[in-house]
Amino acid sequence: MNSENTINFKLLLQQWLNEVGWSGDFEENDDGIQLRTAIKFDTQYYDVYVNASDRTGYIVTCIYSPFHVRTANLPETLFLINQINAFMKNGRFAVIPNNRIQYAHFVDFETANPTVRSIDLLMMPALRKCERYDQALACVAVGGQSAAEAIAALDAAESEETPDPVVPEVTSESTMSSALH
């Protein structure tokens, strides 16, 4: 991206944080900025990092589990992650070298004009995926449950859920996150 088309991701991310009522810390580096915040699922906090490059237009969102995969449970955890990833259109779960589970999603805004709403449309589905798979991943990674049992529990939970027949209307004043809550 040339300097005329740089995107002020720090401003956009700060506005997004304000919209959702969260706080975060920013760190600037040679390539752009990094936002660090945390989100609570059940009783545990997940670390959320958003790396955004004003120069390239890239945003990489990484969400890290609070728990570490036990070495003995690594094969089953990897099998479960492969099963989950096979059904996702974007973003991926992985076990990183320190044995935490990472969800990562990459978007290139180089030719677009991102807004607070587009940041919201990137972040909220990523957070929902982590929340959706939190229990299954923890049960396998820490608890030693088999991947097959975790998948069966996910399938059972999904079959019990009834879809909301009313689709919320998103107005220009609201963000997608407020419409979905």
Taking the alpha carbons of 45, 101, 161, 165 in that order, is the dihedral positive or negative?
positive
Highest mean pLDDT among 9-13, 119-123, 141-145: 141-145
Question: Confidence class of residue 138 from pLDDT cuts 50, 70 and 90?
Answer: very high
Average pLDDT for residues 1-17, to the nearest whole number? Answer: 73
Distance, CA of 101 to CA of 78 (rounded, Å): 10
Distance, CA of 163 to CA of 177 (rounded, Å): 18
- In angstroms, what CA-CA distances link 10 with 14, 17, 63, 75, 150? 6, 10, 18, 39, 38
Q: Which residues are 50's β-sheet partners? A: 35, 61
Which is nearest to 136 in space by CA: 91, 106, 93, 180? Answer: 93
| 72-104 pLDDT per residue, tens | 999 999 999 999 999 888 899 999 999 999 999
CB 139 within 8 A of CB 111: no
Domains annotated for the chain, with CATH where assigned, are 3-161 (3.30.1460.70)
- In this prediction, residue 177 carries a pLDDT of 36
- In this prediction, residue 44 carries a pLDDT of 84
Any idea which residue has 């990092």 for tokens? 49
- In this prediction, residue 6 carries a pLDDT of 58
The torsion angles phi and psi of 92, rounded to 5 degrees, stand at -145, 145
| 143-176 pLDDT per residue, tens | 999 999 999 998 888 777 655 444 334 333 333 3
Highest mean pLDDT among 11-20, 91-100, 128-137: 91-100
| 27-67 pLDDT per residue, tens | 998 888 999 999 888 778 999 999 988 777 888 999 999 99
DSSP 8-state assignment for residue 58 = E
Cα 166 → chain centroid: 25
